[in-house]
Structure 1
C-alpha cells in the first residue's frame, strides 16, 4: 500500500475535517468521483430548470409580475475569480449563529459573513486551503492529474500561482510564507514576501520515500507510511545545513507529529511512552537532534493521531482523545503548563479536533453529529450553521495560520 492509498483511507471517514498534514488522496479516484457528482448535478439541474420555467410561466399568466433580477457578483479583477454578496435570508426563517470560520466548498471559499470567493481562476480541482495574513493558500490538482500546485488567493479574488508543480500538496509553514515540496526526486524550500514574490531556497536530492509534511524554522519534516496504517516513519531535512542526509532509523520513538510548535523552532508530536505499552506521550521534538523529545507529558491523549491544531495565540493544543467507554473526545491542553502538569484544560465530546475560530473557540463536529462551537473552559456545544453551502461532506473548514 502506497502513501496515497493510506491518505485516501484516512479521508473516507472525515466530515467537517480541516486538511491534515497527510491530505493528498489519489487524484484518479477523486476525478472519477467528481465526474459522477457532476453528472448528478446536471440531471438535478435539468429538472430544476423545468420546474422554474413552469412556475414563471404560470406567474406571468396569472398576474403579469416580473421576475426579480439576482444580485450580480462583484468582479474580482483580471482573473476569473469573483467575490459575491449573499442574499439576505427571509426575516421569518429561524437561523443559528454562523459557523464563524471560512469554508471550502469544492471551487468556492465561503467567508464567515456569507460572501463567497470563486476559485475558478486556479486552473484545477482544489484539494485544501489555509487562511493566512495574505489571503488564502490553496493546493490544487493540476490538469495533468499527476502533480499539484500552490496558489495565493487574495481577499478580492485575484490569484497568483506560487508553486507550479509538486508531487503532492505543498507543505506550508505556520507563517504562511514558507513552503516545502517534492518534485522530480528533489526536495525544495522557498519563501514569499508581502508582494507575493517567491524566492527559491535550498534544494536537495530527495530520499526514495518521504514527503514534506511541515516546516519549523528551516527544518523540513519528512514522513511516509512503512506499515500501511498511517504516517509512521519520520525524518528531518535541515535545509540550512545543506544536503539531506537520511536518518529514519534514529526517529523510531516518534509515533505521530502534529506540526510546528508555537515558537516554530520545534515540532509537537507523540512519542512512545517507553514503558512497553502502546501509550504515547505528547512531546516537544528537536529537529536538530533526530526529533529527540526535549519535554514530555504523558496521559493527556488516548489515541495516536496527527490532528493537533494549535490556537492562533499559540497557547492551546487540541488533541484526539477518547472517553472511558471508547467514545471520541477532544482534549485541549495548555501548552504553557502541560509539560509541568500533564492534564487537559478542557475535554469536549467531539469527534475530532476541528478549526480554531479564535484563541479560545474551536469549531468541530460534536458526537451528536451537529456542527458546534466549543470554548476552552466549557464543555457545552453551541450549534452553528453554514448557510449557503451544501451538506457536510461537500466542504471543509479552513484553518487559519497564525502568521
Structure 2
C-alpha cells in the first residue's frame, strides 16, 4: 500500500471533482422538479366520495351476508316443508319430522265451521278429512283438513287448538289449528304424544328416545332428548316434569326432569295409572296390591318417587287408565265396575281411606274428562255420545245418561275439548 507525503492515513488530498454548477443547469433541475410535482397525483386529506363508496360497499357486504344466512334458515325450515328434529349419529328408529308450512299463500286456507266443511278450491275431496270438536256444554265445531284425531286442547290465549292424531302405522301427528282455519303439522311419525294442561309443552317418543319441547305459536322450541327403555312412554306432565310409564303391561313409573338430564334410576314399582293432580302438587293414581289383580286408589308424592301417602281400597277399578280429577281436588271420575256392570264411578277423595266408597256416575268413559267447575264434568262414552255429570245428582242416585251430539255424521266420533 502506498501513502501520500505529509498524511498519516490513506486519505487523498484535495478533491478531484468540481462542485461548480452553471446557471442553465440549475434552472433545468428546478424546472424538472416542479414538473414532476404537477404530474404526481397526491391523495386528498379528506375524500368524501371515496368514503361514501367504501361505506356503501360495507353495507352491501353486510346485507348480502345477512340475506344468505336468512335464506339458508328459510330453505332448511320452510321451503321444502319439513326438517328432521333431533337427528343424531347412532340413533335408531324412524326419525321424527317437524313440518313447516310455507305459508298461507302456497295453498288454500280452510275455515273452521260450526255447520260442516267443504273442500278448499283446487283440493281433491278424497284427501279431505275433518274432525268435530265438542265442548263440555255440547257446542260443535268442525275443523277441516284435520283428523282422525284422538284428543285436542285449546292453545294459550284461545288462538286455536293443538290436536293429536289417532295412532297409525306411520305413527302419530300433532297439528296446530288456528282460529282462522290455517292448519299446520308440528310432528309426524311420532310415538305416543302428551300435552301439558296449558298446551305450552309437548312430550313424545322417537325411536329409542323421549323428547320434550315447548310450543310457541306454530313452532316447537327448546327440544330436549334422553334415552329411554324400549317400552317406556310419556303419560302426562307433572309441572315441568314428564311422568313416564316404563312398561305398559306392568306397573312402574318415573319422573323425567329434562333440566336434570336423563331418566332417573330410582323408579316406582306399584303405580298402574295416574288420573290427575291435586292443588298441592300431589297426584291421584291407581296402585297394585299384594292380592293378585287387586288395586287401590292412592295419593302419590312426586317428590318421593311416587310413594303412596294415602290409600283407599274400596272401589272395583278398571285398569284402562281413564279418569279425571276435579280442579279443587275433591272428586275423581274413574272407570270401574258396579257388580259385573262396567260403569264410570264418582269417588270423594276427601274420604279416601279404609272405607272409601264409589257411586255409579254413568256409562264407561273414553278419551278426556273435562271438569267445567268443581261439581260438573263431561266425557264421551264408547259410542261417541256426550255424558254430562252433575255431582249433586249422582250422589242423589241419578247417574248421567248419554246424549248424541247434534250434527255429527254417522260413524264419526267427536273429540271433547275444554272450550271454544
Whether these two folds match at TM > 0.5 is yes
**TM-score interval, smaller chain:** 0.5 to 0.7
- For the pair 1:218 / 2:247, whether they are aligned, the reply is no
- Who is 1:116 aligned against? 141
- Who is 1:168 aligned against? 191
**Pick aligned residue for 2:348 from 326, 334, 338:** 334
Structure 1, unmatched stretches of 5+, are: 1-74, 88-104
For 2:392, what is the secondary structure of its paired residue? Answer: coil
**Pick aligned residue for 1:389 from 382, 405, 408:** 408
The C-alpha deviation readout for 1:1-44, integer Å capped at 9, x for no partner, is xxxxxxxxxxxxxxxxxxxxxxxxxxxxxxxxxxxxxxxxxxxx
Q: Does the Cα contact within 8 Å between 2:241 and 2:258 map onto a contact in 1?
A: yes
- Who is 2:416 aligned against? 398
Q: Does the Cα contact within 8 Å between 1:216 and 1:266 map onto a contact in 2?
A: no
Q: Does the Cα contact within 8 Å between 1:166 and 1:181 map onto a contact in 2?
A: no
- Who is 1:253 aligned against? 270
Query: Against the structure 1 CA distance between its residues 185 and 222, is the aligned structure 2 distance closer, same or farther, given a 3 Å change threshold?
Result: same
Q: Does the Cα contact within 8 Å between 2:362 and 2:387 map onto a contact in 1?
A: no
The C-alpha deviation readout for 1:289-316, integer Å capped at 9, x for no partner, is 3321122222134333310122355542
- Who is 1:136 aligned against? 161
The C-alpha deviation readout for 1:178-208, integer Å capped at 9, x for no partner, is 1111214222111224x45532243212223
The C-alpha deviation readout for 1:42-88, integer Å capped at 9, x for no partner, is xxxxxxxxxxxxxxxxxxxxxxxxxxxxxxxxx9x97633122439x
TM-score normalised by the chain length of structure 1: 0.61
- Who is 2:220 aligned against? 198
Moved more, 340-349 or 182-191: 340-349
- Who is 2:285 aligned against? 269
* CA distance, structure 2, for counterparts of residue 369 and residue 119 of structure 1: 19
Structure 2, unmatched stretches of 5+, are: 1-103, 117-127
**Pick aligned residue for 1:82 from 107, 111, 116:** 111
* CA distance, structure 1, for counterparts of residue 384 and residue 151 of structure 2: 24
Aligned pair count? 293
Q: Does the Cα contact within 8 Å between 1:174 and 1:264 map onto a contact in 2?
A: no
- Who is 1:281 aligned against? 296
Query: Against the structure 1 CA distance between its residues 267 and 159, is the aligned structure 2 distance closer, same or farther, given a 3 Å change threshold?
Result: farther
Deviation at 1:356, TM superposition (A): 2.8
- For the pair 1:347 / 2:347, whether they are aligned, the reply is no
TM-score normalised by the chain length of structure 2: 0.59
Report which structure shows greater RCO (CA 8 Å, sep ≥6).
Answer: 1
Q: Does the Cα contact within 8 Å between 2:343 and 2:364 map onto a contact in 1?
A: yes
- Who is 1:56 aligned against? none
* CA distance, structure 2, for counterparts of residue 149 and residue 373 of structure 1: 29
Query: Against the structure 1 CA distance between its residues 146 and 239, is the aligned structure 2 distance closer, same or farther, given a 3 Å change threshold?
Result: same
* CA distance, structure 2, for counterparts of residue 115 and residue 340 of structure 1: 40
- Who is 2:44 aligned against? none
Query: Against the structure 1 CA distance between its residues 127 and 174, is the aligned structure 2 distance closer, same or farther, given a 3 Å change threshold?
Result: same
* CA distance, structure 1, for counterparts of residue 381 and residue 107 of structure 2: 41
* CA distance, structure 1, for counterparts of residue 352 and residue 253 of structure 2: 23
Query: Against the structure 1 CA distance between its residues 115 and 81, is the aligned structure 2 distance closer, same or farther, given a 3 Å change threshold?
Result: farther
Query: Against the structure 1 CA distance between its residues 106 and 251, is the aligned structure 2 distance closer, same or farther, given a 3 Å change threshold?
Result: farther
Query: Against the structure 1 CA distance between its residues 312 and 181, is the aligned structure 2 distance closer, same or farther, given a 3 Å change threshold?
Result: same
Query: Against the structure 1 CA distance between its residues 169 and 117, is the aligned structure 2 distance closer, same or farther, given a 3 Å change threshold?
Result: farther
- Who is 2:56 aligned against? none
Query: Against the structure 1 CA distance between its residues 223 and 373, is the aligned structure 2 distance closer, same or farther, given a 3 Å change threshold?
Result: same
